[in-house]
Structures are given as C-alpha cells and as structure tokens.
Amino acid sequence: MSVVEEKGGFSRRLKEAMRRARVEGRPTRFAREFSLRHYGNPVTAQTARKWLHGRALPTQDKLRTLASWLEVSPQWLRYGEADRPHAAKQDVATYAVDSAWLAKKFDSLSEPHRKIVLEVTRALLRLEGKQ
C-alpha cells in the first residue's frame, strides 16, 4: 500500500469515527476540540485539515488522543485492521491528569467558562460527598 493510500484510508476512518461520535468536521473547531484533549502541543486548523483530507498522518501520541476521543482503537484508526471500529477500552482506574496541563487549559478559558467549570466541579464534589 502506498503512503497516499494510507493517508486516504486514515482520512476515511477518521471521518467515519467522527460521524459516529457526532464530532463536527470543520478543521478549526476540530483542531480546537482535539487540542483540549491532547496533553502535548495543540494542533492547528491546517494540521486538522491535512488529516481530514488525507494529506498527512498524525504522530502516535496524537493518534492515541484521537482514538480515545472518538472511542475507536488506535490500530483501527491508523491501519483499518478490522471491518468495524472497536470501542477504545478506557480504564477509569488508570485515568490520570497532568495538573499543570489542566491549570494551563483552565487559565485559557474565558471568565464565564471558568465559572461553569468551577460550578460543575463543586456540584460533582457535593454528589460524591467531598465538599
């Protein structure tokens, strides 16, 4: 299989996974939503456009973020090893958040959105009895 075919196949699988996950396909919004989920450097709309149009493949760390976000296996997303996407297995016990990354993302929010995050966090803490 040629590199062009690999990129095209990845693009088709990415769009299918996005459709199933009901993720908007416009590159600017897609890049923003991806970057909120990815622990590394954010991606640009141009990078997202290249992924969506079969002109580039993501690096392995970005592929894992995409697969987790879209609830498919990284292997299927990258190589199409199965006829249908497999739901990504997420073990809640191994879920970890980098505090510095989280603080940076929180600080980048607008004031009204920061308020929402704080209120949701307070409500969840109350529900869990951890006020």
Residue 95: per-residue pLDDT: 52
Residues 10 and 49 in one domain: yes
Same domain, yes or no, for 35 and 75? yes
Task: Tell me which of 92 and 21 has the higher pLDDT.
Answer: 21
Domain carrying residue 47: 3-79
Residue 89 inside a domain? The answer is no
Residue 26 lies in a domain: yes
pLDDT surpassing 80 at residue 83: no
Domain co-membership, 12 together with 71: yes
- Is residue 34 located within the same domain as residue 66? yes
Instruction: Give residue 93's pLDDT band: very low, low, confident or very high (50, 70, 90).
Output: very low
Q: Is the pLDDT of residue 45 over 70?
A: yes
Q: Residue 92: inside a domain, yes or no?
A: no
What distance in Å separates the CA atoms of residue 127 and residue 37, rounded to the nearest whole number? 25
Report DSSP letters for 51-116, one per residue: HHTTS----HHHHHHHHHHHTS-HHHHHH--SSSPPPPP--GGG----HHHHHHHHHTS-HHHHHH
CA distance linking residue 126 with residue 26, whole number of Å:
37
> How many domains in the chain?
2
53-76: b or e for each residue (b if 16 or more CB lie within 10 Å)?
A: ebebbbeeebbbbbbbbbebbbeb
